[in-house]
A and B are shown apart, each in its own frame.
Chain A
């Protein structure tokens, strides 16, 4: 195939542009990473672009890991992610299985009922009052039950489950398997890529969620990490973490604590998603929205 010179020039600029775009995507976090390892005093003096850490100092990490509020919040977040995602996956896969079967009379009606909620919602205040009336306010369940299923994810799972060959289901049924059994031993094992993507989507949404916690929780002992992070990063409240440091050192180390907290709160997620990247396509609504 012949390549015109115009196309070759375009190719070079395209690669250059995409390289710069990648750099822009990556650099803010790289900066935060370098800054978190830097010596607080040197960092404050330089203030410019960092191409490597300024000095080397782990005090910020020590302070983050020793901090009881962050420790509790970390454990809370683990709880919300583990329990929340388990509930999400169990309920969503059972429902997706039911909605992916062909000869279920009320299937379309139930599907409509679910899809409609994607386009019309009662809104923040009625939802808040409902959670209040159910007695979930200021309990851990307020972050788990109201988000038990995402209609969007459910539809993605249903689409994936529909792709499992009917013959496999039928032969399992001949062997005496019931629907629970078929869902668990036939459909789910054949849909592992989509299950993995769903684990990631649900898990990340729990890990990163802060708004529900802010409106539903009062008790600081239940706060997830993101809410504590908000105090540190946005309300700029690092003082709570540094009560044992002399006041003259407070300003600079406060900065590195911010960066260290960001790294501690962000890196776990960033270590997971590249492994699932090739399955992401299954997580967009491509099956449901076929071009």
Chain B
């Protein structure tokens, strides 16, 4: 299945005898692959420093970090930061907002790409199909700053959307970006606009890899297009859907912080503030590093746990798995 991770079909080590001792094998491998290890070393160093470094640095969540005492000198604080976070007024609110935004994305945005891929698959005219693809990919390449900037402009009280609503339906202007009640809809809706085309690519590729003879067999059995989609295409891309679903569940708590930071304002915090934005405000703006690191660590641990659980469930029920 998915070998994102290690690949189990690796050929036996060329010229390296299995009966050699571990030390001998290490030395022989290094002598033979010296240049390869040299080429790998910048990447290894990069991941050690910039990814494992911060993991090691997470321990400040258990400290009372101050800049002048530094990473090593700051005193330990046990679980104080976590206790403070769990008992704070914000804990419930940001957890709820984070989970709701993720769930709505999963329910509304995730299937959008699948549906678009299925619809595109029914198009016979190749230039029409290609044009739709090119155009729907476009929003993916527009920066978040511009996307949110356009939203502010179109959705302003005197903006395009309100103008249309007023002139067509006589609706009073709504300050969309300044009302907490609109935030989730706008966040999810603009997310679909940005990503529907791009997320269809992987499903189209997956559809293309389905064995044509299965369709032939279905046709002989009298299946029309609809039955072929339901009984051949969907089962054919199910593993891809499940893998992406697992990865999405692993990201459940990491909703688009960058986009929310651009979109929200104190008036909409009530529905818009999530774990990531709260970490940013506490840590970067208020320089309460240890407390913010504890919030971030909570996020990382729950996310990883969710991923492991989702992968385990899928492994048991469908044999599709990331590892």
Q: What residues of chain A have their CB less than 8 Å away from a CB belonging to chain B?
A: 1, 4, 6-7, 10-11, 14-15, 17-19, 21-22, 24-26, 28-29, 31-32, 47-49, 91-92, 94-95, 97-99, 101-108, 110-115, 117, 119-130, 133, 145-146, 148-149, 151, 154-155, 178-180, 183, 204, 207-208, 210-211, 215, 226, 229-230, 232-234, 236, 258, 262, 265-266, 269-270, 273-274, 277, 280-281, 284-286, 288-291
Contact = CB atoms under 8 A, between A and B. Distances in A.
Contacts of A230: 145, 149, 262
Contacts of B39: 94-95, 97-98, 179-180, 183
A171 B60 CA distance: 53
Interface stretch (B5-13, B82-90, B99-107, B178-186): B5-13
Contact of B152 (A149, A234, A284): A234
A128 B284 contact: yes
B95 interface: no
Contact of A149 (B47, B132, B303): B47
B69 interface: no
Given A126-B55, A258-B153, A284-B205, 17 more contacts: A18-B123, A18-B128, A26-B138, A48-B163, A103-B33, A107-B10, A119-B250, A121-B51, A122-B52, A130-B57, A155-B4, A207-B143, A208-B143, A211-B261, A285-B4, A286-B206, A288-B2
Contacts of B261: 211
B93 interface: no
Nearest to B42: A91
Contact of B13 (A48, A105, A126): A105
B43 A48 contact: no
A2 B267 CA distance: 59
A124 B239 contact: no
Interface in B290-313: 292-293, 296-297, 299-300, 303-304, 307
B51 A265 contact: no
A275 B14 CA distance: 41
A49 B160 contact: yes
B224 A113 contact: no
Interface string B3-37: 11111001111111000000001100100110111
A94 B289 contact: no
Given A25-B193, A105-B13, A233 B145 contact: yes
Nearest to A181: B35
18 contacts: A21-B136, A94-B42, A103-B15, A122-B56, A122-B300, A125-B289, A125-B296, A148-B42, A178-B35, A183-B39, A204-B141, A234-B148, A262-B150, A270-B138, A284-B201, A289-B2, A290-B2, A291-B238
Contacts, number: 306
B47 A120 contact: no
Contact of B135 (A25, A102, A291): A25
A233 B146 contact: yes
Chain A to chain B: the 4 pairs with minimum beta-carbon distance, closest first: A122-B54, A233-B149, A123-B296, A126-B57
Contacts of A29: 138, 142
B1 A290 contact: yes
A129 B40 contact: no
B141 to A, nearest CB: 5
Nearest to A134: B49
Contacts of A7: 224-226
A49 B154 CA distance: 11
A233 B39 CA distance: 43
A178 B34 CA distance: 10
B35 A130 contact: no
Contacts of A26: 135, 138
Contacts of A18: 119-120, 123, 128, 132
B158 interface: yes
A122 B57 contact: yes
Residues of A contacting B: mostly: helix
Contacts of B219: 1
Contact of B158 (A14, A47, A124, A258): A47
A113 B16 contact: no
Contacts of B143: 207-208, 210, 226, 229, 265-266
B37 A98 contact: yes
Contacts of B42: 91, 94-95, 148
A112 B149 contact: no
B36 A101 contact: yes
B251 to A, nearest CB: 10
B53 interface: yes
A232 B56 CA distance: 38
Nearest to B251: A119
B77 interface: no
B171 interface: no
B46 interface: yes
Contact of A102 (B10, B152, B276): B10
Given A178-B35, A179-B39, A112 B6 contact: yes
Contacts of B25: 105
Contacts of A178: 35
B44 interface: yes
Given A129-B71, A229-B145, A101 B33 contact: yes
Contact of B58 (A91, A123, A281): A123
Contacts of A119: 250, 303-304, 307
B258 A211 contact: yes
A120 B6 contact: no
